C-alpha cells in the first residue's frame, strides 16, 4: 500500500467509526502514529511475528517498570530537551543553567531543610569518598534567590537509587534544600557512582540488539524552583568518569560538567566537621524569570512518592 491508501485505511477504521465524543488531540496523534507505523511495516516489510515480538516487548518493559528507562536510553527524553531548547530560543529566552533530562528515578517527598542537608545515611561512609556540594541560586543577573527549592537526588556507591533499590534506607541520597538568606545550599553526601541498566532487563535487552552499553557517568540530579521563576530540571555530570561524554541517556551537556576537587586541608576538613579528606563540587544555579510568553517547563509525568 502507498501512504495515501494507508492514511485512508487508518481514517476509515479509527476516525469514520467514531460514534462518541472525540478527543481531537488524541485522535490526531493516534492517527498519525498508526499511519507512520503501517508505513514502517510496509517499507521494512516487518513480519507478523516481528510485530508481535514488538508488542510483547512493550508488555514486558511495562511490567518491569522500565519504559522510563527505555525513553532515556533511546534518546527520546533528550530529544524532548532539544525541542524545549528550540522553543525557548524561539520565544527569545536565553541564559540560565541548561536543562537536562529528569530520568526515571525521582521520588517526591524527600526531607526538607534550609541551607544545608546531610543526604547519606552513613551506611557507605567507610567505603566511599565524602562529597560536599555547594552552590548559590541566583537569577540571570546574579541576584540571589532566597528560599529557592533545590531538590537533589543521586546514586550510591553501586550506582543504585533509594526507593527503587529496596536495600537502601528511605530517602537515602534524596533531599530538598531551601537556599538560605545568602542564596546558598550545601549538601554533605557521598560520591555517586554511575548507573548501569539492569543487565537482564528489558532496556539492556534492546540496547544489546543495538550494540550499545547502558551506562551513565557519575551524576547528581536537580529540580530547582522558586516563585516567579521557571522550574529547572538538570544534573551535573562529573569530570573524569569514563562515560562522561558516552552517556547512554545523553544527559551530559556543556555547562553541566562538574569537577570534584580533592580537599585534604585540615582547616577545611574541620570547618565541615569532617575527619577525613573529601571531594568538593561547586554547582551554582541560575534560574530564568518566568514570563507569560515562556513555554511551560512543568512536565506532567507519573512519579514515585514515598
35 vs 217 by CB, closer to Fe ion: 217
If one asks whether residue 195 binds ligand MBD (CB under 6 A), the answer comes out as yes
If one asks whether residue 217 binds ligand MBD (CB under 6 A), the answer comes out as no
Convert residues 218-257 into a mask of x (bound to ligand MBD by CB under 6 A) and - (unbound). -------------------------------x-x------
If one asks whether residue 69 binds ligand MBD (CB under 6 A), the answer comes out as yes
CA distance 278 to 44: 55
- How many Cα neighbours within 13 Å face the side chain of 166? 0
Instruction: Identify residues 115-134 at the interface with Fe ion (CB under 5 A).
Output: none
If one asks whether residue 101 binds ligand MBD (CB under 6 A), the answer comes out as yes
CA distance 232 to 93: 14
Q: Which does 288 bind (CB under 5 to 8 A by kind): Fe ion, ligand MBD, none?
A: none
Q: How many CB atoms lie within 10 A of CB 85?
A: 14
- Minimal distance, residue 221 CB to Fe ion, in Å: 5
Instruction: Identify residues 84-103 at the interface with Fe ion (CB under 5 A).
Output: 103
Among 70, 74, 105, 220, binds ligand MBD (CB under 6 A): 105
CA distance 62 to 54: 12
User: Is 118 exposed, middle or buried (CB count within 10 Å of its CB: 0-12, 13-18, 19+)?
Assistant: middle
Question: Residue 256, SS3?
Answer: coil
Q: How many CB atoms lie within 10 A of CB 230?
A: 21
User: Can you say whether the dihedral through the CA atoms of 182, 183, 188, 192 is positive or negative?
Assistant: negative
Q: Which does 104 bind (CB under 5 to 8 A by kind): Fe ion, ligand MBD, none?
A: ligand MBD
* β-strand pairing of 149-154 with 219-225: antiparallel
103 vs 135 by CB, closer to Fe ion: 103
Instruction: Identify residues 26-65 at the interface with ligand MBD (CB under 6 A).
Output: none
Question: Residue 209, SS3?
Answer: helix
Q: How many CB atoms lie within 10 A of CB 133?
A: 25
Q: Which residue has the cell 579528606?
A: 277
- Minimal distance, residue 177 CB to Fe ion, in Å: 18
- Minimal distance, residue 177 CB to ligand MBD, in Å: 19
Whether the CB-CB separation of 156 and 131 falls below 8 Å is answered with: no
- Piece of the chain touching ligand MBD by CB under 6 A; list 22-30, 97-105, 135-143, 223-231: 97-105
- Piece of the chain touching ligand MBD by CB under 6 A; list 99-107, 222-230, 284-292, 297-305: 99-107
If one asks whether residue 194 binds Fe ion (CB under 5 A), the answer comes out as no
Q: Specify the length of the chain in residues.
A: 306
CA distance 116 to 187: 6
If one asks whether residue 72 binds ligand MBD (CB under 6 A), the answer comes out as yes
183 vs 214 by CB, closer to ligand MBD: 214
Count the site residues for Fe ion by CB under 5 A: 1
**Chain residues that interact with ligand MBD, rule: CB under 6 A:** 69, 72, 101, 103-105, 155, 195, 216, 249, 251
Binding site for Fe ion (CB under 5 A): 103
Amino acid at each position: 500500500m502507498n501512504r495515501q491508501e494507508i492514511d485512508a485505511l487508518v481514517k476509515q477504521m479509527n476516525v469514520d467509526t467514531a460514534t462518541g465524543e472525540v478527543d481531537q488531540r488524541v485522535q490526531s496523534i493516534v492517527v498519525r502514529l498508526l499511519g507512520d507505523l503501517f508505513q514502517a511495516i510496509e517499507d521494512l516489510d516487518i513480519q507478523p511475528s516481528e510485530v508481535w515480538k514488538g508488542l510483547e516487548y512493550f508488555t514486558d518493559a511495562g511490567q518491569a517498570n522500565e519504559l522510563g528507562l527505555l525513553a532515556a536510553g533511546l534518546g527520546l527524553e533528550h530529544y524532548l530537551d532539544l525541542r524545549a531548547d528550540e522553543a525557548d530560543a524561539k520565544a527569545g529566552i536565553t541564559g540560565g543553567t541548561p536543562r537536562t533530562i529528569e530520568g526515571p528515578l525521582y521520588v517526591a517527598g524527600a526531607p526538607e531543610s534550609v541551607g544545608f542537608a546531610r543526604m547519606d545515611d552513613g551506611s557507605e561512609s567507610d567505603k566511599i569518598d565524602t562529597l560536599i556540594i555547594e552552590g548559590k541560586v541566583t537569577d540571570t543577573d546574579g541576584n540571589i534567590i532566597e528560599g529557592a527549592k533545590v531538590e537533589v537526588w543521586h546514586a550510591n556507591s553501586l550506582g543504585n537509587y533509594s526507593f527503587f533499590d529496596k536495600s537502601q534506607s528511605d530517602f537515602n541520597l534524596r533531599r530538598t534544600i531551601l537556599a538560605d538568606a545568602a542564596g546558598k545550599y550545601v549538601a554533605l553526601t557521598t560520591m555517586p557512582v554511575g548507573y548501569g541498566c539492569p543487565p537482564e532487563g528489558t532496556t539492556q535487552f534492546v540496547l544489546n540488539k543495538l550494540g550499545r552499553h547502558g551506562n551513565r557517568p557519575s551524576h547528581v540530579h536537580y529540580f530547582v524552583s522558586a516563585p516567579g521563576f521557571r522550574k529547572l530540571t538538570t544534573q551535573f555530570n562529573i569530570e573524569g568518569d569514563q562515560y562522561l561524554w558516552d552517556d547512554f541517556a545523553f544527559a551530559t551537556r556543556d555547562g553541566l560538567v562538574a569537577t570534584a576537587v580533592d580537599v585534604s586541608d585540615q582547616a577545611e576538613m574541620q570547618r565541615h566537621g569532617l575527619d577525613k579528606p573529601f571531594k568538593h563540587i561547586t554547582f551554582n544555579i541560575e534560574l530564568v524569570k518566568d514570563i507569560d510568553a515562556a513555554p511551560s517547563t512543568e512536565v506532567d509525568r507519573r512519579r514515585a512518592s514515598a
